[in-house]
Chain A
Amino acid sequence: MQQVFSRPKALTDVAMAYCPGCTHGIAHRLVAEVIDELGVMDRTVGVCPVGCSVFLYEYFECDSIEAAHGRAPAVATGVKRCLPDRVVFTYQGDGDLAAIGTAEIVHAATRGENITVIFINNATYGMTGGQMAPTTMLGQESTTTPGGRDKARAGYPFKVCELLSPLEGVAYAARVALTSPPNVAKAKRAIKTAFQAQLDGKGLSLVEILSTCPTQWGMAPLDAMKHVDSVMVPYYPLGEFKSDA
């Protein structure tokens, strides 16, 4: 019998610790498929964040480094500058990249570090219990915005692709969602383009993935998917913001 579907080689054979309906699993799989397709598994170094995907190194077969909260782009810079022929990617959530790690991502981008950044935007701090993230939507309930995020007190949601894409060091920036099979296919194409930009030495490549957190959003998985499409996408439009790749 012909096998038509299997686990990507770049993923380990362990059960992931993510909640039901969380899109980290899809995002991991897409990154792993791209690593497989580009044939770079044995020269890839992943840099993991602090957040729900802190155990990324348990799930990927490539070499990995666990970074301090927000510092992944600096750690990736250290690896890539020393080993320029390796493929280096960071995988960061919104608290990690867009709050505590803003200096590191902005300056890695301005320097045009030749790394790939997978940015998971689920509009919440999932691991710590659903506090407000920089990307939390106006009006969105969180454990630190009772009654919903109020712009007068907590400011506005942070648009990372719009902020970073004008920087000259950024070769590729795209925002994708995982809410339907066509969107998943587009997300994979964006991730592959981003890794290819790195292989071509073009500069920093970033894919922002609008993601779900059914647990902290207090929604059933399918409702969470609908929430991304109906609430997040209008504020965080999908598409390529920059493509020198």
Chain B
Amino acid sequence: MLMKGNEAVVRGAIAAQCRAFFGYPITPQNEIPEYMSRYMPEAGGVFLQAESEVAAINMVYGAASAGIRAMTSSSSPGISLKMEGISYIAGAQLPCVVANVQRGGPGLGNIAPAQADYFQAVKGGGHGDYRMLTVAPWSVQEMFEHAILAFDLADRYRNPAMILSDAIVGQMLEPIEIPEKVEVDIPPKPWATTGAKGRGRNYVTSLYIVPEDLERINLQIQAKYAEASRRDVRFQEFELEDADIVLVAYGCVARICRTTMNMARKKGLRVGLFRPITVFPFPSERLAALALEGKRFLVVELSAGQMVEDVRLAINGSAQVDFYGRLGGVVPSPVEILDQIEQTLMRPFLPGYVQGGVSPRINGRNTLGAAASATELEAEEADATGV
């Protein structure tokens, strides 16, 4: 069956027994509320178009409090609006799923694919010490599967989970296989506020006015993330055994990088690909182990360099990490990435050397060329003169 990513995530959520969806229009995720408005009532669930992204995430908060598998979706600017609610959901330790079909930013940006919401997704995004359990699908098939995975993670840890996709994964049509039956094991929710019939009252809150109480809750939350880092890290590896250089990419960029890897292999370059599937928890241990094997890394993102920080934290100076990013909705071609590999390999291999420092290195060969090169030159001059 041929299907769009945005429809697949809807089918996955309904297969996962999501029974409440609250949304608001924003491109490029509009097919999600549109398909939900049709499929959710058929499944006996609640679909509601909210008056804003803010209202939608708070409706999710209510539905999740009632013990229902609940979801909302949006794209970058709308996800920013949901951050208040997501922080409350994390603080109240409720499960829910939020899908972000990322577009170009900052601000209104555009509707082209981007990965510039990575920090917002994996570092917290809203206020307070919390994280979202974040999965990064790279195909229409995974949009279906990750919807189920996200609900399972959310329920397992009583924490919001994010499906971090982008305009390509959401909009592209691909063949998909939908299983006849999906086994869903929803844990009991004795904490849900369903009315106090036959038991004492339940309440859902993120308010703990005594600092020691709030510290205890925070430690509980952090313990969940530590457990997720042990149990629920997912990643995929391609041709790593003999690889001299490892491309690190997630989502749609990992698809492009796989093509690049095959092109490079044909040219005799020993290139591998490492794809984080969960970006929080991040596959740090595995990357650290690969670094000790003497490999070098090229991180490719549709951002100015966000996941690369997690790669560098994982590798902690024990291998060389280069970065190639395109911004504002520009998607690099496999050839452009191959060119970056060749440029990277021409530079000396210095174990422990971090290329680019805190500022991203942007390809100087294309439309961004002049400005990017000038900036780079200035930065290099500043470095040389110690300014």
Contacts and interface: CB of A to CB of B under 8 A. Distances in A.
B55 A103 contact: yes
A130 B45 CA distance: 43
A78 B46 CA distance: 9
Given A64-B204, A66-B204, A68-B84, A78 B194 contact: no
Contacts of A106: 51
A28 to B, nearest CB: 15
Interface in B108-151: none
Contacts of B198: 42
A46 to B, nearest CB: 9
B8 interface: no
Contacts of B64: 78
Given A86-B194, A103-B51, A67 B61 contact: yes
B55 A63 contact: no
A157 B114 CA distance: 45
A47 B193 CA distance: 10
A229 interface: no
A57 B196 CA distance: 13
A66 B206 contact: yes
Given A75-B61, A77-B62, A65 B55 contact: no
A45 B195 contact: yes
Nearest to B207: A66
A179 to B, nearest CB: 31
Given A79-B66, A82-B66, A42 B197 contact: yes
Given A68-B85, A71-B54, A76 B196 contact: no
Q: How large is the interface on A (under 10, 10 to 19, 20 to 34, 35 or more residues)?
A: 35 or more
A242 B197 CA distance: 33
Interface string A36-57: 0000011111011000001101
Given A71-B55, A74-B59, A104-B55, A62 B66 contact: no
Contacts of A79: 62-63, 65-66, 193
B340 interface: no
Interface string A186-220: 00000000000000000000000000000000000
B204 A83 contact: no
A64 B193 contact: yes
Nearest to B45: A82
Given A47-B62, A68-B84, A83-B194, A74 B205 contact: no
A93 B58 CA distance: 18
B4 interface: no
A214 to B, nearest CB: 23
B20 interface: yes
A62 B65 contact: no
B62 A62 contact: no
A59 B117 CA distance: 41
A62 B196 contact: yes
A61 interface: yes
Contacts of B20: 78, 81-82
A164 B58 CA distance: 21
Given A43-B195, A68-B58, A82 B19 contact: yes
15 contacts: A41-B196, A42-B197, A45-B66, A57-B201, A57-B205, A68-B61, A68-B88, A74-B50, A75-B58, A75-B59, A75-B61, A78-B64, A78-B70, A81-B59, A104-B58
Interface of B: 19-20, 22, 46, 48, 50-52, 54-56, 58-66, 68, 70, 84-85, 88, 92, 193-198, 201-207
